[in-house]
Structure 1
Amino acid sequence: MRILALCVALLFSLSCCNGYKFLMVLNSPGRSHFNVGHALAKGLVQAGHQITVVSVFPLKEPMPGYEDIIVPNIIQVMKGDLAALWQSIQKPVTRKLIDHYDMGFRLTRGLFVDANFQALLHSNRTFDAIICETFYNDAHYGLAEHFQAPLIGLSTGGGLTFITDMVGSPAPASFVPHIMLPFNDHMSLPERLVNVAFLAYERLLLDYYYLPGQEALYREFFPHNKRCFYAMRRNASLVLINQHVSLSFPRPNAPNLIEVGGMHIDGKLRPLPAQIEKFLNESEHGAIYFSMGSNLKSKDLPPAKVQEILKAFRGLRQRVLWKFELHDLPNKPDNLFISDWFPQTDILAHPKVLAFVTHGGMLSTTESIYHGKPVIGLPIFSDQFFNMAHAEQTGYGIMLDFKSLNAGDFRAAIERITGVPAYTAVVRGMSHRYRDQQQTPLQNAVYWVEHVTRHQGAAYLQSAAQRLNWWQYHNVDVLLIIFALLWLLLLVLPFAVWRLLRAVFAAGGQRQQQGQKRKRN
């Protein structure tokens, strides 16, 4: 009987953890963001589930259990934002944050009004959980109530405040810097002042600009949802974040915020194209790989910057692979190979590649650490400054200012990163620590998605912090009452002391007069 009971229990557990239907919404137009979500989607399919993926990147070859819903309107509404990325470096970080929120409004509405997405909204389909990319699109989280399923957030970047808010994850300003600031977890007093000021600025923008705008979109496109916008966005069952403690620094996380950084790296190496393989193998002094990611196009660089970069490359002992989106580059030196596409992870794994020149995006820095390659960073926007500041402070990278980039500084950085063994030693140690995990990041992500689905949202994981406003979370209301009482005490105490002293002196005077009176009598 015990054996039979065990068999029944095993069959039940297998039936519970397989065969779910998921909806995944990847609203970012960036290929790198899609790669993270796509890795999870494939992992869930391989685990026996069905998944419907809303994105701008359909599969090239059909996969059983994987359904595409293409939303081309996203590309249309984001054309201006993608074209302006290079210019964003000229703006202060306070303005960049507003630009991100404005982009989010366009992105959120752009997905809502897409004809294919509207068809999905008005269908009678059912899902066991909604996996929604967290990319300035809080109104999209209403899909969870719309389809009566738990909400799972997928952060392809770092822990921005509006993401950690979803699960009430703590972020003490004393040692958790904002990811748009180039600080680490050991901030000086001036840095902590800047961090607190910027976080307060972000909080004001969130509460009085960004969230009200997203709330309006939520009410417009989910008019029948019963839960209010603010309650809805704080009801996430799980948030998967593209981060890992070995890639950054330790910080406290809520139990339903799970680090799965690097889950897009499958560890499988594929043969390089013959021309690239030959170019690398024949590089007597090694090679440098240079890519600014999928959104920043090197062809859109100012011509003066292109010439400075070419001047730095000319005469280098190393060969250079540069992701450049034009087939012809005038004045190209012989040691330079250009292409509009490179198999990045396979190139970084090549033993001849000595270093990676990057914009410092989270995916690129993760891949460089995974393959043990030091970096030279040219950050342009968002968390790239934070990632590259961490690389420089940790000792596996050099950060350069793109605005003042010149051939001399760029050349010196390349010679230093390839000539000082300490950079490679540090990043290889990080690679060893990152790889030393109980299970792969993808396996971890699949487990937690199944777990919260299996337990109908796993409400037991949700911290009470998810239900608190920021002033309640930080006890601002309690502190105000304490300060008010202290202020009142400071006002009343001197008056009370003065009255007491006056009464004492008056009583003393009366006793003296009475004494003198008795003497006269």
Structure 2
Amino acid sequence: MSASLRYLVGLCLLLAPSFTGGARILGMFPTSSPSHYILGGALMKGLAEAGHDVTVISPFVHKHPPKKGKWREIILEGFMEEFNKKFESINMFEMDFNPLLFSIMANQMGNKIVEETLNYTKVQDLIKSNEKFDAYIVPQFMNDGLKALAHHFGGHLILFSQTAPNSWFNHLVGNPSMPSFLPEVVLNIPSKMSFFQRLQNTLVKFFSMSNTYLIFYPKQNKLVQKYLPNPVDLNDAMYNISLVLLNSHVSLFAPQPAVPCMVEIGGFHVEPPKKLPKDLQSFLDNATEGVIYFSMGSNLKSKNLPVEKREAILKAFGKRKEKVLWKWEDDVLPGQPSNIKLGKWLPQQDILAHPNVKLFITHGGLLSTTETVYHGVPIIAIPIFGDQKMNAYNAKEAGYGLILPFTEMTEETLSSALAEILENPKYRENAKERSRIMHDRQVKPLDNAVYWVEYVIRHNGAKHLRVPYLELTWYQYYLLDVFLFIFAVIFTVMFVTKKTFSYLCRRVQSKTKLE
């Protein structure tokens, strides 16, 4: 090999790791929930800031687009308006979130999301454009049909999970998901389950997975065949996952198994605190007795609280010496005590970072839980639906929070919870300890996410991270064929032994009679 050729080969090897710096990455985030896009937008912005060519499909316009890389947004116009109209007509506080009915609702919602997204004009234009991408990122949330776009665009499929490993996608990457130790997301049970809780968890999991395999996946596959040219079978597309980015961390969840292609990046969306508006800064600075921050998130509206619950909250707050900052979506709060300040929108991360904030009363959404742990603020959780109950249990078990069921909330129960958590220093100490655990990492979680996306691209899908038992059928995975064989052998041996013994007994009896 000539010197010039050796130099050229060496230069190529030197530059090879940086080729992914210009990777083309497509992110699909069609859900119209603001909390979902906060996470998706932060992830895609981080990839763009790392120098990649990023395309994002969502109902939201990013308020602070990246200053580096390439950034293109395909806005799903009308999705937000329909979402807001639907939620304005529903009072989430009055709904009964039965875990079995949730599967049926999820079917309807998931099919609607996928069909409207695939049928959207701008999405169809992109599908027909012959563009190719190196990686395709899609959230794991009732939208499995969208996974087939990775095959269409030629990109490696990367899942983004808004929470920890769970039965919604564990089976897609071969991650252990036994109902004995992993509660279903929609159930109101702790990770350490009693016998009857494990029984309930098993039955719900069986129903959920039966619904998924027999009803939801076939319908999603039909949508893929309908809207994609040269479509891949969804069963093949779903199991061809290169990476799962998990919005979780051991500071937030009990430790769980995770196969090599699963990477925790919980807390990646939290940014350094920014300067507060003057009125909020003054309110927090002058709260010498501390501040209680109260927000039910972006989907739940405090203004929709039943009157008796609202009045109970006001009476409990009115008796406290602390000031209260309340995310209230209306202009007026009837019966508002003098120690309460309202805000239709509040910069939550920046508020939680203020040293005078002593308590966060929350619905238990994972974004809120992550942000409060990041800043070391204890919580009272009033979970309503979804993963909120699971997050609330995690906070209680970790010792930095209390759970106040919505149906049990009265002036007395809220006052008791306020007194316990504000006057017992163990909750704040535990919150600070959890915060230290969250901050104690080798690299920042967003940098870790960028690294693993680039790693998958560098290694052409990183098939070496796939566990081999993905090739097993479900009955092989659960050893049903092995147990069936063992039982068959035992039965055969017992049957033959019994027949032999009976035969010998008859022979002995026959000889005795002859004698």
TM over 0.5: yes
State which drifts further: 174-183 or 85-94: 85-94
Please say if residues 235 and 466 of structure 1, whose CA atoms lie closer than 8 Å, have aligned partners that are also in contact.
no
Q: For residue 245 of structure 1, give the secondary structure of its aligned residue in structure 2.
A: coil
Q: 1:277 is matched with which residue?
A: 281
Please say if residues 159 and 179 of structure 1, whose CA atoms lie closer than 8 Å, have aligned partners that are also in contact.
no
2:142 is the counterpart of 1:139: no
Pick aligned residue for 1:410 from 394, 401, 414: 414
Q: For residue 90 of structure 1, give the secondary structure of its aligned residue in structure 2.
A: coil
Post-superposition offset of 1:62: 5.1
Task: Classify 1:361/1:6 alpha carbon distance in 2 versus 1 (closer, same or farther; 3 Å).
Answer: farther
* Within-5 A mapping of 1:110-149: 110-149=116-155
Task: Classify 1:280/1:185 alpha carbon distance in 2 versus 1 (closer, same or farther; 3 Å).
Answer: same
1:6 & 1:36 partners in 2: Cα distance?
A: 41
Q: Work out the number of aligned pairs and report it.
A: 509
Amino acid in structure 2 at the alignment position of 1:209: I
State which drifts further: 114-123 or 141-150: 114-123
1:72-124: CA deviation from partner (whole Å, max 9, x where unpaired): 24335545663436157523222223322322122122212222222222212
Pick aligned residue for 1:43 from 46, 69, 79: 46
Q: For residue 159 of structure 1, give the secondary structure of its aligned residue in structure 2.
A: coil
**Percentage of matched positions with identical amino acids:** 36
2:95 & 2:472 partners in 1: Cα distance?
A: 36
1:115 & 1:304 partners in 2: Cα distance?
A: 47
2:302 is the counterpart of 1:298: yes
State which drifts further: 299-308 or 370-379: 299-308
Q: 1:506 is matched with which residue?
A: 510
2:381 is the counterpart of 1:358: no
Instruction: Decide which structure has the larger Cα Rg and report it.
Output: 1
Task: Classify 1:10/1:279 alpha carbon distance in 2 versus 1 (closer, same or farther; 3 Å).
Answer: farther
State which drifts further: 256-265 or 192-201: 192-201
Please say if residues 77 and 110 of structure 1, whose CA atoms lie closer than 8 Å, have aligned partners that are also in contact.
no
1:6 & 1:43 partners in 2: Cα distance?
A: 32
1:218 & 1:507 partners in 2: Cα distance?
A: 76
Q: For residue 101 of structure 1, give the secondary structure of its aligned residue in structure 2.
A: helix
Pick aligned residue for 1:331 from 329, 332, 335: 335
2:36 is the counterpart of 1:30: no
2:30 is the counterpart of 1:13: no
Amino acid in structure 2 at the alignment position of 1:17: T
2:325 is the counterpart of 1:321: yes
Q: For residue 237 of structure 1, give the secondary structure of its aligned residue in structure 2.
A: strand
Pick aligned residue for 1:92 from 98, 103, 106: 98
Amino acid in structure 2 at the alignment position of 1:240: L
Unpaired runs of 5+ residues, structure 1, are 514-521
2:455 & 2:507 partners in 1: Cα distance?
A: 72
Please say if residues 73 and 111 of structure 1, whose CA atoms lie closer than 8 Å, have aligned partners that are also in contact.
no
Q: 1:229 is matched with which residue?
A: 234
1:184 & 1:468 partners in 2: Cα distance?
A: 31
1:346 & 1:62 partners in 2: Cα distance?
A: 20
Task: Classify 1:95/1:486 alpha carbon distance in 2 versus 1 (closer, same or farther; 3 Å).
Answer: farther
Amino acid in structure 2 at the alignment position of 1:384: Q
Task: Classify 1:422/1:324 alpha carbon distance in 2 versus 1 (closer, same or farther; 3 Å).
Answer: same
Amino acid in structure 1 at the alignment position of 2:202: V
Post-superposition offset of 1:488: 4.9
Post-superposition offset of 1:367: 0.8
Q: 1:455 is matched with which residue?
A: 459
* Within-5 A mapping of 1:361-400: 361-400=365-404
Q: For residue 41 of structure 2, give the secondary structure of its aligned residue in structure 1.
A: helix
2:262 is the counterpart of 1:257: yes
2:145 & 2:321 partners in 1: Cα distance?
A: 52
Task: Classify 1:360/1:93 alpha carbon distance in 2 versus 1 (closer, same or farther; 3 Å).
Answer: same
Q: 2:483 is matched with which residue?
A: 479
2:125 & 2:20 partners in 1: Cα distance?
A: 29
Aligned-residue Cα RMSD (Å) equals 2.3
Post-superposition offset of 1:299: 1.9
State which drifts further: 163-172 or 186-195: 186-195
2:301 & 2:465 partners in 1: Cα distance?
A: 42
Q: For residue 283 of structure 2, give the secondary structure of its aligned residue in structure 1.
A: helix
Unpaired runs of 5+ residues, structure 2, are none
Task: Classify 1:264/1:362 alpha carbon distance in 2 versus 1 (closer, same or farther; 3 Å).
Answer: same
Q: 1:467 is matched with which residue?
A: 471
State which drifts further: 346-355 or 156-165: 156-165
Amino acid in structure 2 at the alignment position of 1:400: L
2:10 & 2:316 partners in 1: Cα distance?
A: 67
Task: Classify 1:85/1:221 alpha carbon distance in 2 versus 1 (closer, same or farther; 3 Å).
Answer: farther
Q: 1:174 is matched with which residue?
A: 180
2:369 & 2:63 partners in 1: Cα distance?
A: 27
Task: Classify 1:475/1:427 alpha carbon distance in 2 versus 1 (closer, same or farther; 3 Å).
Answer: same
Please say if residues 88 and 381 of structure 1, whose CA atoms lie closer than 8 Å, have aligned partners that are also in contact.
no
2:508 & 2:438 partners in 1: Cα distance?
A: 74
Amino acid in structure 2 at the alignment position of 1:140: L
TM-score, structure 2 normalization? 0.93
Post-superposition offset of 1:161: 1.4
1:334 & 1:505 partners in 2: Cα distance?
A: 100
Task: Classify 1:26/1:310 alpha carbon distance in 2 versus 1 (closer, same or farther; 3 Å).
Answer: same
State which drifts further: 248-257 or 294-303: 294-303
2:78 & 2:508 partners in 1: Cα distance?
A: 83
Q: 1:70 is matched with which residue?
A: 75
Q: For residue 187 of structure 1, give the secondary structure of its aligned residue in structure 2.
A: coil
Please say if residues 290 and 358 of structure 2, whose CA atoms lie closer than 8 Å, have aligned partners that are also in contact.
yes
Post-superposition offset of 1:421: 0.2
2:442 is the counterpart of 1:432: no
Task: Classify 1:228/1:467 alpha carbon distance in 2 versus 1 (closer, same or farther; 3 Å).
Answer: farther
Q: 1:210 is matched with which residue?
A: 216
Please say if residues 269 and 346 of structure 1, whose CA atoms lie closer than 8 Å, have aligned partners that are also in contact.
yes
Post-superposition offset of 1:184: 3.6
Please say if residues 24 and 132 of structure 1, whose CA atoms lie closer than 8 Å, have aligned partners that are also in contact.
yes
1:365 & 1:117 partners in 2: Cα distance?
A: 34
Please say if residues 347 and 353 of structure 1, whose CA atoms lie closer than 8 Å, have aligned partners that are also in contact.
yes
Q: For residue 162 of structure 1, give the secondary structure of its aligned residue in structure 2.
A: coil
Q: For residue 270 of structure 1, give the secondary structure of its aligned residue in structure 2.
A: coil
Post-superposition offset of 1:509: 4.3
Q: For residue 44 of structure 1, give the secondary structure of its aligned residue in structure 2.
A: helix
